A and B are shown apart, each in its own frame.
Chain A
Amino acid sequence: MSTRPDAPTRGARRVVPVHEVNAQIKGRVLNVFDQAFWFNPLVRAVLIIGAAILFGIAVTTPLEVWQQALFSIIMFVAALVIRRVAGQFAVVSLIVLSVTASIRYMYWRLTSTVGFVDPLDMVLGWGLVAAELYALTVLLLGYLQTAWPLKRKPIPMPADNSTWPTIDIMIPTYNEPLNIVKLTVFSALALDWPADKLNVYVLDDGRRPEFKAFCQDVGAGYITRDNNLHAKAGNLNWALARTSGEFVAIFDCDHVPTRSFLQLCMGWFLRDKKLAMLQTPHFFFSPDPFEKNLGTFRSVPNEGELFYGLVQDGNDLWNATFFCGSCAIMRRGPLLEVGGVAIETVTEDAHTALKLSRAGYNTAYLGIPQAAGLATESLSAHIVQRIRWARGMAQIFRVDNPIMGKGLALGQRLCYANAMLHFFYGLPRLVFLTAPLAYLIFGAQIFQAPALMIVAYALPHIFHSSLANSTIQGRFRHSFWNEVYETVLAWYIMRPVTLALINPKAGAFNVTAKGGVIDQAFFDWTMARPYLVILLLNFVGICFGIVEFVGGDVDARTTIVVNLVWALYNITIACASVAVAAESRQLRTTPRVSASLPATIMLNNGKTIVCRTTDFSQQGLGITLPQGVTVPTDQDLHVCVFRGEEEGVFPATVVYSKGQTLGLRLDKLDLQQQSKFAQITFGRADTWAENWGHASVDTPLGALREVSLIGMRGMKLLSRSLYGASRTKISTSLANRSSVSKR
């Protein structure tokens, strides 16, 4: 089990309760595989050739339906047993089983189920096959990416800090409010690094005087330019030309680094001279729209956790970590060599990493959250962001395709390719969401095989991939949530991706973002439109199916049932997506972070109370008082918060008091106090790592239940909103009528 200086229990998969026993077993296995025998080229050749031949047999041998069923059951039981064992060996085993089941399914699919005759069947049928092929490709590439997360550990810096390199911290900003940027700047200035080797620059594309003044006050550099060409990439390149540190660390203006950031990350640059970029996770201390609207903050892993918890770590094995625009360090030399930050596409970050890889430099990923930021606030803003990513990836796919071109190893090509292919899920996802309708409504035979045969071949494909992914992704993505995340975005992503594929230079699709404070819960009808259509279609399909089941051909019943189950699943997913569109209320502009820190309250009468914090935000603190002590509201006091030996004293006002719970507002801090407060709270090295990868471990059935419940909630919300909307409409029309009649 890995331990790190600041990440004591980094997510280890532990399914068997007696983990010590497993550790022992694992230790022995490792020893076995260290024997020279395994490194003999002949042994490896035999392994590979034997595996290839037998794999070919396992995939291509046709079986009767009962044989296939039996074979599938044996395989599935084997997988369930293997799943009980921890360790990478088990993961690789599950992947092999899943790949066998899926390729076997696809081989059968392509050789035995596509004898279409009817033109309608042919179009719809091949459409489904294409979608399935896409899904299979992404599945396989996903296995490649996640089979072996590297779990890189930090390397300590040499004791003599005179040998440490110089670093420029760059904080690009455009239109974000100062109080957000302030926090980042304070934390950046407080990074544990020799002061003479650390420069903090605010790159203000908004050219705002108050930013300039602030920077001068706190001692940060302030760089502006007279244009906004190429947005963030241009901004960074402009600053690169005006700075000279050996390394560049980039933080989005709302990403607050912890003080240990540089010390933890820089060690690898000293060890690996070819290392050009090191990325750390993006951690969000506010809920994203999914977490906010579904109420799953910190209980279900969010959309980003899979990428930063697993995919990037897995990419690292293949030397294919992407630069994600923030919370990363780059070596200046290589960065300038590839022409600075890439400007050809709207995802300059990933493209820059691709260029570095092509130039022969290494990239690395350190899976310890050392910075935290604000998640997008509303669904529409979230969608806008994802559209940009998807569009950018599609652009890279067109203008600098990783499969083609020089300088990449195969693993890198495949990892990059999957990162881009992944964003093409829009159309395939919509195909899957509507595929059962082809049969239920139109009676199209898009699957030229008996229903039982389909079940016998397709179920293993689905089960094994779910099982393997659930085991691999465990804490980072719960089963079925992927479908929800993708379904929400599918429709919106499809058009820009398609357009970018056709013409990478074409302009963006703009969706109006409703960022900031959501002062009243509302149902975002505009955004929900696509899911509502899918929902409606599947409902119609189910009605058709039931009618057909009752009154139609008895022989077709199995087929109908298979399609009905599929449509029902689609409805569940669509309902969950609808639930996301129900925007819940969010009043606080600076979100709270839960944290239990030792604190002391000093009342103006000289009395001090030892207590603990419950949470903090940029301008406030939550406090739990000891038993029996109360403090009235509207009282001015001082609060003292500790970080180890260090302490900070801040003036505060009690704005909320109920029993032992106290809410303090810190609005009278001077710059120094603000900086101190940021260091003691947001800048704590262990703040984010403690919350990292600690969501509950996935159990597929539990996740299904979770998603179903959310689906039901979505249903309820929808009906209520419908009712509400219709009532408003009626009442307004009544009012209008009455006013007309009055006139």
Chain B
Amino acid sequence: MISTSQGPCTHPFRRRYLPALVSGALVFGASMHVWAASAPEAASAAGASPAAASPAAAPALVPQPVGAQAFPAPPEPPAGSRNVRLSLKQLGANYPLNLRGVDGSNSVPFNVRTDEIVTAAKLTLSYAYSPALLPDLSHINILINGEVANSIPVPKETAGIALQHSVDLPPRLITEFNRINVQLIGHYTMQCEDPLHSSLWANISNNSVLDLTVTPIALANDLALLPTPFFDRRDIKSLNLPVVFASQPDNATLEAAGTLSSWFGALAKYRGARFPASVATLPQSGNAIVMIAGQSTIPGVDAPAVSGPTVSVVAHPNDPNGKLLLVRGRDSRELKLAAAALATGSQTLSGPSAAITQYASTDPRKPYDAPYWLPSNRPVQFGELMDAKDMNVSGYSPDIIRVRTRIAPDLFTWREKGIPVDLKYRYTPQPDTMNSSLLVSVNDQFLKSLPLLSLKNMGGGDNLSAAVRPDETLPMQTKLAVPPQMLAGETQFQFRYMYDYIKQGECRDIIIDNVRGAIEPESTIDVSGYSHFIAMPDLNVFQNSGFPFTRLADLSETAVVLPDSAGAADYTAYLGMLGRMGESTGYPATGVAVVQAQQVDTVSTRDLLVIGSGGNQPLAKQWADRMPAAIDGNAKRFGLSDFAYRAASWFSPDPRATDTTARNRLSFTTEGASAMFTGFESPLSSGRSVVMVSASQPQGLGDALDALIGGEGYERTIAGSLAVVRGKDVQSVLSDQKYYVGSLGMVKRVQWFMSQHLTAFVLASAVGAVLAVLALYLALRRRAARRLVGE
């Protein structure tokens, strides 16, 4: 019986790259002689034993058990440089790396910012390995970009114990995009061995740490580099980009800033982005955006008067390695133009400064056409969602193929069978009967297993052989129906090829890596059959997708209501939230409107995002009776139908239909609640939504934004119609869904209403029955009377 190491313990990030294997083979080839020289007495016993590597080159560093010694302190950095410490987990290894077999290998990527170079690097491995390994032959290789950086011996004494070992990585091997490979060369016998023997294992903790010492390098002031250095895609940390207003910003300036923050939010994607705002003060160091309207200036920033919308990059006056992105205009209107041009056409700019002479605003966006969203008006090919070359894999247990997209959160999937996915895939058919399969999962939830039939399974035959492509893969096609509830917001399709390996027999087992798998880019997913209709308020879709504001990707039906005397905290919250929406849509918010409470009537037909802190938002009081809750200073009052009342969803299992009503109105005061999210229907226009973010103190808005971005430390998501944030604790208190957004076909709408309201349904049926009985009775009676007259 052969274990194929394909169980659930093998984590999805496991990668096997052909280059890595090639280099591994080279390592083996080179070290063969060393081994033969140092251990001649074993040569005859090893015989034809294929894989062996020498521990002779191992450094004198002896591995230490964990606990005996803490992580070694990073070395003193050179001047101007900084230390970066990243765990493998941060680099993307969600699970420990398991190495199996004679040649198990796994890798994690890491990148280096453009404006920095690595001067020193050290990998501190936390690991354990099998007691069955023969120390003479077995070892663990650390490779960086395919080159061996170090080999770690596996002595018997420390086998099976959690160990730590630091490896210095030669900086010369490190480039912008890198990959650390960990490879187990493992042998358990000198005789013929099973290459996939279960005793051949090593386990590398994903808490292993990579310490990098980086030194900044000065970049030219060149717009062509944009968005670098303000955002660098090599940097996996969340984006923190200060926005500086030269003077107290007016609404148009804020709109311009919002456009930029949403643009950067879209670029930052999963990393998350924050935009600390300040007025007239530059941050001490680092990069920043500076918004200058009219004549206002910022001390230290050399910004001569401009003759129109202008964008430029200058060095930070106090930080030689920092850059400032100056966005300028003679008035805030021009500023807005500059921001829009920058956000939508940065790739056309170059040089240290560019005047925007012409900016043709693009066609108005259509609902749901956000670049990051799956188009909902046609079947979409996978090739549109990702690079076709990333949809090919090789090896017996290759990496998972991931197809990512974001699905509009308001698809009305009630009682729908499943979203149709027309999957076309190819694989290398094996000659004999095997249990190979292609596993399809969605968001880590298993969906279906497609058997990869062998040629024999399918009856062989010439037709079949003819179908096999020149690259020896067999094209297949199947239709999947993905349960709609699996596709909420951000969605990841996961395709995992798992090939069965059949043991050839004694001493004949040489794994030849000749199996391939691919998902065809022509595969499609089709959500065009669904209506857009959702019960609101639903803060969960606001958190996940910025809905309903992001319905139009440029937020042209969104208005942000800021407090009258807004301060930096309010601006920061505003910019952060727009960044969040950019992350959802992938498009800059060129159409957003910013107003104050007294002008709210001018934007009455828009969805409103209301921000307030410490009682500075008049709308919070004005609309108190429309809201499920209101914050009056410290006293919080809301109609209570506890979120636990969602147990009432027993009555209607569709979570969008938890049409529970508030039962009690009661006031209470909570200490420590820093912010609240409230969703309700706009008092100004029916069918429009208001999301109010309010905090009792200005700094509470920061907590709100962090909660919105979420991530590690947040156990719960924002949901329902009222969510309270206390530090890192998010509690969704209410779920009063009172109105609907979107449109449904008449028939569907009636059916849905009826299915949610049994009483109405019974009544309608009863009335219908009475009418039908009357109509039939009268008709039959009249006919009978006529027949009996018999003229």
Q: How far is the CA of A78 from the CA of B770 in the complex (A)?
A: 12
**Interface with A: B175-183, B215-223, B345-353, B757-765, which one?**
B757-765
B282 to chain A, nearest CB (A): 61
Closest to B753 in A: A61
Judge whether A451 is part of the interface by a CB distance below 8 angstroms. no
Closest to B775 in A: A47
Closest to A104 in B: B765
**B750 A67 Cβ-Cβ under 8 A:** no
Interface membership of chain A positions 22-62, coded 1 if the CB is closer than 8 angstroms to chain B and 0 otherwise = 00000000000100001000001001101101110110111
Q: Which residues of B contact A50 (CB under 8 A)?
A: 767-768, 771
Q: Which residues of A contact B765 (CB under 8 A)?
A: 54, 57-58, 71, 75, 100
Counting chain B residues whose Cβ lies within 8 A of the other chain, the interface size class is 20 to 34
Judge whether B778 is part of the interface by a CB distance below 8 angstroms. yes
Q: How far is the CA of A54 from the CA of B770 in the complex (A)?
A: 10
**B758 A71 Cβ-Cβ under 8 A:** yes
**Interface with A: B41-49, B84-92, B724-732, B782-790, which one?**
B782-790
**A92 B653 Cβ-Cβ under 8 A:** no
**A61 B754 Cβ-Cβ under 8 A:** yes
Judge whether B751 is part of the interface by a CB distance below 8 angstroms. yes
Judge whether B366 is part of the interface by a CB distance below 8 angstroms. no
**B773 A57 Cβ-Cβ under 8 A:** no
**Which of A50, A115, A362 has the most chain B CB within a 10 Å cutoff?**
A50
**A55 B783 Cβ-Cβ under 8 A:** no
**Which of B653, B751, B777, B788 has the most chain A CB within a 10 Å cutoff?**
B777
Q: Quick one: given A92-B776, A317-B787, are A54 and B767 in contact (CB under 8 Å)?
A: yes
Q: Quick one: given A51-B772, A54-B768, A317-B780, are A272 and B751 in contact (CB under 8 Å)?
A: no
Contact of B758 among A67, A96, A316 (CB under 8 A): A67
Q: How far is the CA of A272 from the CA of B765 in the complex (A)?
A: 42
B776 to chain A, nearest CB (A): 5
B415 to chain A, nearest CB (A): 6
**B764 A48 Cβ-Cβ under 8 A:** no
Interface membership of chain A positions 87-131, coded 1 if the CB is closer than 8 angstroms to chain B and 0 otherwise = 011001101110010000000000000010000000000000000
**Interface with B: A145-153, A513-521, A547-555, A679-687, which one?**
A145-153
Contact of B772 among A57, A70, A96, A317 (CB under 8 A): A96
Q: Which residues of A contact B764 (CB under 8 A)?
A: 54, 57-58
Interface membership of chain A positions 64-82, coded 1 if the CB is closer than 8 angstroms to chain B and 0 otherwise = 1001001100110010000
Q: Which residues of B contact A115 (CB under 8 A)?
A: 417
B471 to chain A, nearest CB (A): 31
Q: Which residues of B contact A364 (CB under 8 A)?
A: 790
Q: Which residues of B contact A271 (CB under 8 A)?
A: 790-791
**B773 A96 Cβ-Cβ under 8 A:** yes
Q: How far is the CA of A61 from the CA of B754 in the complex (A)?
A: 7
Judge whether B743 is part of the interface by a CB distance below 8 angstroms. no
Q: How far is the CA of A96 from the CA of B769 in the complex (A)?
A: 6
**A92 B761 Cβ-Cβ under 8 A:** no
**B787 A61 Cβ-Cβ under 8 A:** no
Q: How far is the CA of A95 from the CA of B417 in the complex (A)?
A: 33
Judge whether A63 is part of the interface by a CB distance below 8 angstroms. yes
Q: How far is the CA of A51 from the CA of B769 in the complex (A)?
A: 7
**B790 A47 Cβ-Cβ under 8 A:** no
Q: How far is the CA of A64 from the CA of B750 in the complex (A)?
A: 16
Judge whether B458 is part of the interface by a CB distance below 8 angstroms. no
Contact of B769 among A58, A317, A318, A319 (CB under 8 A): A58
Q: Which residues of B contact A71 (CB under 8 A)?
A: 758, 761-762, 765
Q: Which residues of A contact B768 (CB under 8 A)?
A: 50-51, 53-55, 57-58, 100
Q: Quick one: given A58-B768, A63-B758, are A89 and B777 in contact (CB under 8 Å)?
A: yes
Judge whether B755 is part of the interface by a CB distance below 8 angstroms. yes
Q: Which residues of A contact B758 (CB under 8 A)?
A: 63, 67, 70-71
Judge whether A481 is part of the interface by a CB distance below 8 angstroms. no
Q: How far is the CA of A6 from the CA of B784 in the complex (A)?
A: 23
**B788 A152 Cβ-Cβ under 8 A:** yes
Interface membership of chain B positions 127-146, coded 1 if the CB is closer than 8 angstroms to chain A and 0 otherwise = 00000000000000000000
Q: Which residues of A contact B773 (CB under 8 A)?
A: 89, 92-93, 96
**Which of A33, A61, A62, A63 has the most chain B CB within a 10 Å cutoff?**
A61
Q: How far is the CA of A55 from the CA of B765 in the complex (A)?
A: 7
**B761 A93 Cβ-Cβ under 8 A:** no
Contact of A317 among B754, B777, B783 (CB under 8 A): B783
Chain A residues within 8 Å of chain B by Cβ, number: 46
Q: Quick one: given A48-B775, A96-B773, are A60 and B751 in contact (CB under 8 Å)?
A: yes
Q: How far is the CA of A53 from the CA of B750 in the complex (A)?
A: 11
Q: How far is the CA of A115 from the CA of B481 in the complex (A)?
A: 12
**A63 B771 Cβ-Cβ under 8 A:** no
Judge whether A268 is part of the interface by a CB distance below 8 angstroms. yes
Judge whether B365 is part of the interface by a CB distance below 8 angstroms. no
Q: Which residues of A contact B652 (CB under 8 A)?
A: 64
Contact of B754 among A53, A57, A88, A268 (CB under 8 A): A57
A468 to chain B, nearest CB (A): 12
Judge whether A275 is part of the interface by a CB distance below 8 angstroms. yes
Judge whether B774 is part of the interface by a CB distance below 8 angstroms. yes
**A150 B788 Cβ-Cβ under 8 A:** yes
B451 to chain A, nearest CB (A): 14
**B755 A61 Cβ-Cβ under 8 A:** yes
Closest to B750 in A: A57
Q: Quick one: given A47-B771, A61-B755, are A96 and B776 in contact (CB under 8 Å)?
A: yes
Judge whether B621 is part of the interface by a CB distance below 8 angstroms. no
Q: Quick one: given A62-B751, A71-B762, A96-B776, are A275 and B790 in contact (CB under 8 Å)?
A: yes
Q: How far is the CA of A62 from the CA of B768 in the complex (A)?
A: 17
Q: Which residues of A contact B769 (CB under 8 A)?
A: 54, 58, 93, 96-97, 100
Q: How far is the CA of A57 from the CA of B768 in the complex (A)?
A: 9
Q: Quick one: given A57-B768, A62-B415, A96-B769, are A51 and B775 in contact (CB under 8 Å)?
A: yes
Judge whether B234 is part of the interface by a CB distance below 8 angstroms. no
**B790 A268 Cβ-Cβ under 8 A:** yes
Q: How far is the CA of A33 from the CA of B764 in the complex (A)?
A: 23
Q: How far is the CA of A462 from the CA of B788 in the complex (A)?
A: 34
Q: Which residues of B contact A64 (CB under 8 A)?
A: 652-653, 755
**A148 B790 Cβ-Cβ under 8 A:** no
Contact of B778 among A38, A63, A317 (CB under 8 A): A38
**A47 B762 Cβ-Cβ under 8 A:** no
Within 485-503 of B, Cβ neighbours of A (below 8 Å) are at: none
Judge whether B626 is part of the interface by a CB distance below 8 angstroms. no
A708 to chain B, nearest CB (A): 33
Q: Which residues of A contact B790 (CB under 8 A)?
A: 268, 271-272, 275, 362, 364
**B755 A88 Cβ-Cβ under 8 A:** no
**Which of B417, B747, B783, B790 has the most chain A CB within a 10 Å cutoff?**
B790
Q: How far is the CA of A275 from the CA of B774 in the complex (A)?
A: 31
Contact of B776 among A57, A75, A147, A152 (CB under 8 A): A147
Closest to B751 in A: A61
Closest to B783 in A: A317
Q: How far is the CA of A63 from the CA of B762 in the complex (A)?
A: 11
Q: Quick one: given A50-B768, A57-B764, A71-B765, are A44 and B775 in contact (CB under 8 Å)?
A: yes
Closest to B417 in A: A115
Closest to B774 in A: A47
B651 to chain A, nearest CB (A): 9
Q: How far is the CA of A62 from the CA of B416 in the complex (A)?
A: 11
Judge whether B389 is part of the interface by a CB distance below 8 angstroms. no
Q: How far is the CA of A362 from the CA of B653 in the complex (A)?
A: 58
Q: Which residues of A contact B417 (CB under 8 A)?
A: 115
Judge whether B781 is part of the interface by a CB distance below 8 angstroms. yes
* A-B pairs, 3 with minimum CB distance: A54-B768, A51-B771, A58-B765
Question: Can you name 16 A-B residue pairings with CB atoms under 8 Å?
Answer: A38-B778, A47-B771, A48-B775, A50-B768, A51-B771, A54-B765, A54-B768, A55-B768, A61-B750, A61-B761, A63-B761, A100-B768, A147-B776, A152-B788, A271-B790, A317-B784
Known: A47-B775, A147-B776, A364-B790. 16 other contacts (CB 8 A): A48-B775, A51-B774, A54-B765, A54-B767, A54-B772, A57-B750, A57-B751, A64-B755, A71-B758, A71-B765, A89-B777, A92-B773, A93-B773, A95-B776, A100-B768, A147-B780
